[in-house]
Chains A and B, each alone.
Chain A
């Protein structure tokens, strides 16, 4: 029994297996170390997206080298393994089209650089901060702190809005004023509002556009610019200030009006004004 065990341990095959195991173990250790070292050395120089990619490339590159060496140690021919891997890839590709499509979409997404980690993007109804761009999906954190995973294929196919691309943003406030109002006066009031909000950029200048004659109001667009970081707060500050300024200036923001007209041929509705004192005494 012990002889058999001894011969097994000293046999060439067993030693090869042990060497291969040690190689893979050392590979894992070195790859992990290399990844961490990359992170530490380059964290200040690279953008989070590029850093994550470089770290993964170092990790998987080192690991692949060690695994290949381990396979050779076990007597596999690399050329045969590569060939087999090629055939296997085609087979897997056919079997799992969605995964393959996501994988390739992911490569394009990274190459296109339309958004990076830390950007705020909007996809359909979803708006959130990009946490990571992975091989199969992009992970978002929405403003109400919900984690969302969007498959890369969806992102490639649909319209993606990168909200945090440029440093400044424009806010278009749509409002209506009554037909009796003087538009020049309205313009003066709105410009005064913009001047008194420090977060409202002086340049590009705030602009008031007259859009058209609405059903019950003159339609106006008031466009003001702010820093990207202040935008959400800024939007509500401007709207509140505009409402207050219009109220103070006595400018009416009308609600929809409807005039009832019974037609030319008919007589107007008979309306009689009754003295409330008379109605009370008759009770």
Chain B
């Protein structure tokens, strides 16, 4: 498993790479095919995508001769350090997870689910690094999460197996894994049909085996409603291998409190 996750040169793919004149950094990350070529003073970027189902475990990062042809975008940077860093970050909106099979959590029970969400890549060039653009590794569909069409939040829709055993997690280098602990302190059954995961408030960690993780999130349901108290662990996750912090939260996590986290809405 670990050999498949390693990239060339035994360096995780998110480390900075030198891309000299006339060469191109090719990154294959799950469904995303990214090529960044250096033709001074410009960076040429090409973004390609494969269907996710066929490409889940793909991970390859190499610098090769030649420039991407054709390319989608051009960025001008006269900097002579010629370095590119691809920084993974979590999505910019909450992700609504729909387990493929609904899970029911009876009163006073708890469960830990492992949810995976696709990461975005920040393309940073030069020294000090300048953000050229942000690319999602997988384009997710928009969705609405709230009690009505007037009140709610715009989110991304994600489908997942919502596994509850860590050993069952498949190899998907473009997805970050979030351990989610759900405690149902109410008396009634909690159907977990849709769960809103506030990823903009989480930090992203990269493990030595190139897997991506976030801190553990805890949702506590107190009363018989679809509101829950959200808390995020202060400490880093422990996947059993050395881990480093790659990106902080996009939004201030101190605004946490009671949020709408579960939903059985819109006639479902």
Contact = CB atoms under 8 A, between A and B. Distances in A.
B139 A202 contact: no
B120 interface: no
B157 interface: yes
Interface string B138-153: 0111111100011010
A192 interface: no
A203 interface: yes
Contact of A204 (B96, B140, B141, B144): B144
B144 A201 contact: yes
Contact of B149 (A195, A204, A226): A204
Contacts of B145: 203
A168 B144 contact: yes
A195 B140 CA distance: 10
B268 to A, nearest CB: 8
Contacts of B142: 198-202, 226-227
Interface in B101-151: 139-145, 149-150
Q: How large is the interface on B (under 10, 10 to 19, 20 to 34, 35 or more residues)?
A: 10 to 19
A220 to B, nearest CB: 19
B149 A166 contact: yes
B14 to A, nearest CB: 25
A205 interface: yes
Contacts of A225: 144, 149
B8 interface: no
Nearest to B267: A205
Nearest to B139: A198
Q: How large is the interface on A (under 10, 10 to 19, 20 to 34, 35 or more residues)?
A: 10 to 19
B144 A203 contact: yes
B95 to A, nearest CB: 11
A167 interface: yes
Nearest to A166: B150
Interface string B145-182: 10001101010010000000000000000000000000
Contacts of A203: 96, 143-145, 157, 194, 265-266
A203 B95 CA distance: 12
A44 to B, nearest CB: 18
A202 B268 CA distance: 12
Contact of A201 (B139, B143, B194, B265): B143
Contacts of A205: 266-268
A202 B154 contact: no
B96 A168 contact: no
A202 B157 contact: yes
B266 A198 contact: no
A197 B141 CA distance: 7
A14 B266 CA distance: 77
Nearest to B159: A202
Contacts of B157: 201-203
Interface string A180-215: 000000000000000101111111110000000000
Contacts of A197: 141
A197 B143 CA distance: 12
Contacts of A227: 142, 154
Nearest to A170: B149
B266 A202 contact: no
Interface string A148-172: 0000000000000000001110000
Nearest to A169: B149
Contact of A195 (B139, B141, B152): B141
B260 to A, nearest CB: 13
A144 B217 CA distance: 48
Contacts of B139: 198
Contacts of A201: 141-144, 157
A198 B156 CA distance: 9
A204 B145 CA distance: 9
Nearest to B157: A202
A12 B154 CA distance: 71
B54 to A, nearest CB: 15
Contacts of B152: 167
Interface in B2-18: none
A5 to B, nearest CB: 72
A226 to B, nearest CB: 7
A170 to B, nearest CB: 8
Nearest to A199: B142
Contact of B141 (A166, A167, A200): A200
A198 B143 CA distance: 9
Nearest to A226: B142
| The 6 nearest A-B residue pairs measured at CB | A202-B157, A202-B143, A203-B143, A204-B266, A202-B141, A198-B141
Given A168-B154, A201-B143, A225-B149, 17 more contacts: A167-B144, A198-B139, A198-B142, A199-B142, A200-B141, A201-B157, A202-B157, A203-B96, A203-B143, A203-B144, A203-B157, A203-B265, A203-B266, A204-B149, A205-B266, A205-B268, A227-B154
7 contacts: A167-B144, A168-B154, A198-B139, A201-B141, A201-B142, A202-B96, A205-B268
